Amino acid sequence: MTSARVLLLVSGGIAAYKACFLARLLLQAGFSVKVAMTEAASKFVTPLTFQALTGNPVATDLWGEGQSEALDHIEYARWADLAIVAPATANTMAKAAHGIADDLVSTLLLAFPGPLLMAPAMNDNMWKHTATQANLETLHQRGVATVGPGEGWLACGTNSQGRMSEPEDILAAALEMAGSLEGLRPDQHPWSETRTENQGFWAGKRVLITAGPTHEIIDPVRYVANRSSGAMGFALASSAVKAGAKVHLVLGPTHLIAPRGLEHLENVESAKEMADAVAAGLAQGADWLFMSAAVADFSPAEPAAEKIKKEALGDNWALALKPNSDILAEVVPVHRRPELKVVGFALETEDVLARAKAKRQAKQMDYIVANNPTSEGAGFGMVNHQATLLGEKGVIWQSESIPKSELASGILKNLAETEKDIHHDSRG
């Protein structure tokens, strides 16, 4: 349970009613919550509703009227550890992207320096509009994280993309972001107990972590990808940083906010770029390698320099693919020093443990984390997950379905204990 402080910013969309459920879930998860609303949002949900849910006054304007104080846009921004905009309308996203501050919410967005999560919600045509997509890209480039929108029935009567993500999904994203927060007092940190347990072993260790998917270019506007969000790799990086490790994160395309305190962050796009980054990172020296990225097995054999026209593809488009380098099997052995410990990940949907054991042996990994994203209590993205850590002698630890931040801390904790036991046995 976390003690982080969340500023919930509610803008004027029909999905504002969902923000009430989100506020309650945030409180149940242990967050402290304050709410600020636009005038339009108060047409859908009253400030009194949020005051009753959170126990705090609700800021609604810049001029100190109602429950607001004249300097709420400064005080609320200073108070919060994390800000969430739900719903994030096209108008609010545009203001945030262009630095416009003409109401309380947009002013808070300009005044708040910390991590920001947006849950877009709007008509499907508004969502698809080039202006909205350009604003979205600008926000992503600045490190703003987004969740959704999903598909479903919209207020306009269409069944399409633009529906605000469910409060449970937004909460999961908030919990992941809270795991990356720095600057909280030790007793306030969501996972401070595990941090203390891990810190002795990992302090000063040079840890190289890969995270996220890869995008294999088909043409300038299309690519081959997978469903990896990078959440597990981010959680590992964040937990390792908190345990005192020097973390080099090699990151595929993702919209998550990178953990604070990294020694080095390297953004890559393709499997080839990730392989080159891993080779360079190992050459610079690493004590541990965590290969949590979902690297594409294949890439287009002949990427096109120009956009391939739909008319030229015909009714049955056959895309020729070529295999990518297997980083664990082909790149790591070339640059591996004797003291390097390698931890791989096996994503399987059947015979999970057997296949993970075979993969660990075939690719000469010290440890492997086996997981099935289709099983109950697991999944892609910012949702609870469960996994099994295996070593040379078999299963070391099997987790329950827990937030990926806790899962990452558990993996580090059990690796540290196993290594200490191995070292003790070798000396004995």
pLDDT digits (tens, 9 = 90+) for 237-283: 988 988 899 999 999 998 776 676 788 999 999 999 999 999 999 99
CA distances from 353 to 108, 227, 364, 395, 417 (A): 49, 22, 16, 9, 21
Q: Do 285 and 413 lie in a common domain?
A: yes
Q: Do 171 and 232 lie in a common domain?
A: no
pLDDT at 420 over 90: no
Residue 307 resides in a domain: no
Asked if residue 266 lies in contact with residue 258, where contact means CB atoms within 8 angstroms, the answer is: no
- Domain tally for the chain? 2
| pTM of the predicted structure, to 2 decimals | 0.61
Q: Which uninterrupted H or E stretch holds 361?
A: helix 352-362
Q: Do 162 and 202 lie in a common domain?
A: no
Which of 7-11, 24-28, 332-336, 354-358 bottoms out in mean pLDDT, i.e. has the lowest? 24-28
156 is a catalytic site residue? yes
Q: What single letter denotes the amino acid at residue 402?
A: I
The one catalytic residue in 71, 131, 156, 395 is 156
CA distances from 35 to 2, 16, 83, 205, 399 (A): 18, 12, 10, 41, 35
For residue 241, the domain's CATH number is 3.40.50.10300
Query: Would you place residue 358 in the very low, low, confident or very high pLDDT band (cuts 50, 70, 90)?
Result: very high
Q: Do 255 and 348 lie in a common domain?
A: yes
Q: Do 133 and 9 lie in a common domain?
A: yes
Asked if residue 214 lies in contact with residue 207, where contact means CB atoms within 8 angstroms, the answer is: no
Residue 287 resides in a domain: yes
As a whole number, mean pLDDT of residues 69-93 equals 82
- By residue range, what is the domain housing residue 253? 191-299+317-427
Q: Do 169 and 196 lie in a common domain?
A: no
Asked if residue 7 lies in contact with residue 84, where contact means CB atoms within 8 angstroms, the answer is: yes
Q: Do 73 and 208 lie in a common domain?
A: no
pLDDT at 426 over 70: no
Residue 158 resides in a domain: yes
pLDDT at 73 over 80: no
pLDDT at 207 over 80: yes
Helix/strand/coil for 12: coil
pLDDT at 187 over 50: no
Query: Would you place residue 179 in the very low, low, confident or very high pLDDT band (cuts 50, 70, 90)?
Result: low
Q: Do 170 and 146 lie in a common domain?
A: yes
**Which of 177, 206, 238 is the last residue in one of the domains?**
177
Q: Do 138 and 278 lie in a common domain?
A: no
Which of 276-285, 308-317, 409-418 bottoms out in mean pLDDT, i.e. has the lowest? 308-317
pLDDT at 385: 77
- Tokens 């003291």 belong to which residue? 339
Q: Do 211 and 169 lie in a common domain?
A: no
Residue 304 resides in a domain: no
**Which of 126, 152, 177 is the last residue in one of the domains?**
177
Distance, in Å, from the CA atom of 58 to the CA atom of 75, rounded to the nearest integer, reads 13
Q: Do 262 and 155 lie in a common domain?
A: no
Residue 310 resides in a domain: no
Residue 63 resides in a domain: yes
**In this structure, what token pair is assigned to residue 333?**
């052995």
Q: What is the mean pLDDT of the chain?
A: 85
Query: Would you place residue 185 in the very low, low, confident or very high pLDDT band (cuts 50, 70, 90)?
Result: very low
pLDDT at 186 over 80: no
Residue 368 DSSP code: E
Residue 20 resides in a domain: yes
Which of the pair, 127 or 185, is modelled with greater confidence? 127
pLDDT at 336: 92
Angle in degrees, CA 239, 148, 257, rounded to 5: 30
Of the candidates 269, 256, 261, 11, which has an alpha carbon nearest to the alpha carbon of residue 146? 256
Q: Do 171 and 199 lie in a common domain?
A: no
- Tokens 């392989």 belong to which residue? 275
Query: Angle formed by the axes of helices 404-427 and 192-202, to 10°?
Result: 40
**Strands 394-398, 159-163: pairing kind:** unpaired
Residue 311 resides in a domain: no
Query: Would you place residue 63 in the very low, low, confident or very high pLDDT band (cuts 50, 70, 90)?
Result: low
pLDDT at 72 over 80: no
- Starting at the earlier edge strand, list the strands of the sheet with 145-146: 32-37, 5-10, 82-88, 116-120, 145-146
